Structure 1
Amino acid sequence: MTQPDLRFVNCLDATGLHRMAYWEWAGPAADAPVLVCVHGLSRQGRDFDALARVMSQRYRVVCPDVAGRGQSDWLRQPGGYQIPAYVSDMVALLARLDVEQVDWVGTSMGGLIGLGVASLRGREGQPGLVRRLVLNDVGPAIRFEALQRIGAYIGKTLRFTSLAEGAAYLRTISEGFGPHSDEEWLALSAPLFREEGGEWRLRYDPAIGLPFATITPEFAAAGEAALWAAYDTLSCPTLVIRGADSDLLTSETARAMTQRGPGARLVELPGIGHAPTLIHDDQIAIVKDFLS
């Protein structure tokens, strides 16, 4: 089965440099368009293996591990685990890829990063960095209760006696991902763990959870206003995928996104919460059809 190449790019932060890893799936030709797929808060780039295998028939597919996750460096200052810093890292990645525009698929946090990248403006007359944007179960308004739920488990230092035990734990906190077979779930979970001294640990810096300790309803409201302001500047074709049972992206916010900014197309998936994994054929087809 086709596998991606692991590559790295140096990114600037407040203390110097850190390396961001990215998984690259070769396209059908050297000049193939680029699709960037960015994962959720505690995940990593291998989440998109199923989607990337299909999309690499047309695209050069690039799936980064956001700083502090997967194969990427952990930051020296945990305060750097913020969306603006991640946007800066992605600009460095796009410079490494030497492309003027990309298509973007972002799940949850990866969608907010994509929103930030898509809202960047160069000189008048220059195209934006994102040609087409897919926001997977995320939007400018994020329910405070959902942030509290995520903050309750993110960043814990956990140890497991086996990969199977670790995967079973992830399943208990990921019910919103929807139904998956045991084989599918293990494939999604295995890249998230590393074996160390006979124990299995999650491949992320526990400090990524620290920003959640400072979130208040007032802070969340200020962030929402900034995100709507960025969303309203977008002009690229945009698709919003929403799990119909999502506790993070409400139906009201999703429908507002169809009427504001780029006037997004909305697809809702029954029986799924936060967030669709985009590994099943029907979900992949939604993304493929939109990008085509």
Structure 2
Amino acid sequence: MMRDGAVRWLSPAGFFTMHWWEWGPEDGAPVICVHGLTRSGRDFDALAEVLAAAGRRVICPDLPGRGASDWLPDPALYQPMTYVGALSHLLARFDQPVDWVGTSLGGICGMAIAATRGNPIRRMVLNDVGAFIPQDAMARIRDYMALPPEVFPDVAALESHLRRVHAPFGPLTDAQWRHLAETSARKVEGGIMLHYDPAIADPIRAQEAQAVDMRGLWALITMPVLVIRGADSDILPAETAQDMAATPHVECTEIPGTGHAPALMDATQIGLVARFLAG
């Protein structure tokens, strides 16, 4: 059964609340699952249910500006290191070793934490993100985030939108697409909108798209890592994944029929994650 929780965290603009969705026994070994740029912790419901059935305590936060978490007053704060600060408060709350599953932005945050001295991450899954993101991929994200916020008349219209923009998630069932739509909606006057603060796009739109080189961070990461790559991904090029997999503590697997990023909702992908975290 899913529960919810929250932690107060300190930013340069003051204290804010970050909410999370929680599954499994409270005394289970924690797994932290962190979503991508425009997504929420509810993306991990299917994965969390399986891990919880195996005795794990699964914590799926909504990053600041998303889902049930507070929006920030200064759009310039919507940066990875702000999210790392909020997540560090969450990790301090548990104060024990954790496993980490990070999709895209959630993986970037995970790498930043995993590269620090004394970090609590035991094993880490990086879902379609790695040590280098090409400029063309960052330009695509910037162009997507530059689209004006849209008001949808109902959940069905929102679902249709998500099926288009998130087609690279892979071949999901109708029930899975509906779940993503229902957990992505917030009510506004005249209909519904996506759950996140539109201002999360401001820092991305404010600068020219550039490649993101995190190889310095990657060199500091020593725990076992599973890298999952969508076969058609532009965010995680095949050569970057291959370079990462050359490290002895790193496994890499590719998911056919997906781009950025595999949804981690079907039994095969969930099984990959569950087996790795159990290792």
Measured against the shorter chain, the TM-score band is: over 0.9
Q: Is 1:228 aligned with 2:226?
A: no
Q: Is 1:76 aligned with 2:73?
A: yes
In structure 1, list runs of 5 or more residues that go unmatched.
123-127
Aligned length: 276
Q: Identify the residue that residue 84 of structure 2 maps to in structure 1.
A: 87
Q: What's the RMSD between the two structures over aligned residues?
A: 1.4
> Would the aligned equivalents of 1:48 and 1:63 in 2 still touch at CA under 8 Å?
yes
> Would the aligned equivalents of 1:159 and 1:199 in 2 still touch at CA under 8 Å?
yes
Q: Identify the residue that residue 240 of structure 1 maps to in structure 2.
A: 227
1:56-106 CA-partner distances (Å, limit 9, x unpaired): 122110000000000000111111111111111111001122x32100000
Tell me how far apart the structure 1 counterparts of residues 142 and 194 of structure 2 sit (CA, whole Å): 16
1:170-216 CA-partner distances (Å, limit 9, x unpaired): 11111111111222101122111112234011110111111212343
- Identity over the aligned pairs, expressed in percent? 43
In structure 2, list runs of 5 or more residues that go unmatched.
none
Moved more, 66-75 or 113-122: 113-122
Q: Identify the residue that residue 103 of structure 2 maps to in structure 1.
A: 107
Which letter maps to 1:243?
Answer: G
Which secondary structure does the structure 1 equivalent of 2:183 belong to? helix
Which letter maps to 1:8?
Answer: A
> Would the aligned equivalents of 2:223 and 2:249 in 1 still touch at CA under 8 Å?
no
Q: Identify the residue that residue 62 of structure 1 maps to in structure 2.
A: 59
Pairing 1:1-292 to 2, within 5 Å after superposition: 2=1, 4-27=2-25, 30-57=26-53, 58-97=55-94, 99-122=95-118, 128-154=119-145, 156-216=148-208, 220-221=210-211, 223-224=212-213, 227-260=214-247, 263-292=249-278
Deviation (angstroms), 1:40:
0.4
Deviation (angstroms), 1:263:
4.0
Which secondary structure does the structure 2 equivalent of 1:72 belong to? coil
Which secondary structure does the structure 2 equivalent of 1:93 belong to? helix
> Would the aligned equivalents of 1:147 and 1:212 in 2 still touch at CA under 8 Å?
no
1:25-55 CA-partner distances (Å, limit 9, x unpaired): 132xx43110000000000000000000000
> Would the aligned equivalents of 2:151 and 2:190 in 1 still touch at CA under 8 Å?
no
Tell me how far apart the structure 1 counterparts of residues 35 and 197 of structure 2 sit (CA, whole Å): 15
> Would the aligned equivalents of 1:42 and 1:154 in 2 still touch at CA under 8 Å?
no
Tell me how far apart the structure 1 counterparts of residues 73 and 190 of structure 2 sit (CA, whole Å): 27
Which secondary structure does the structure 1 equivalent of 2:235 belong to? coil
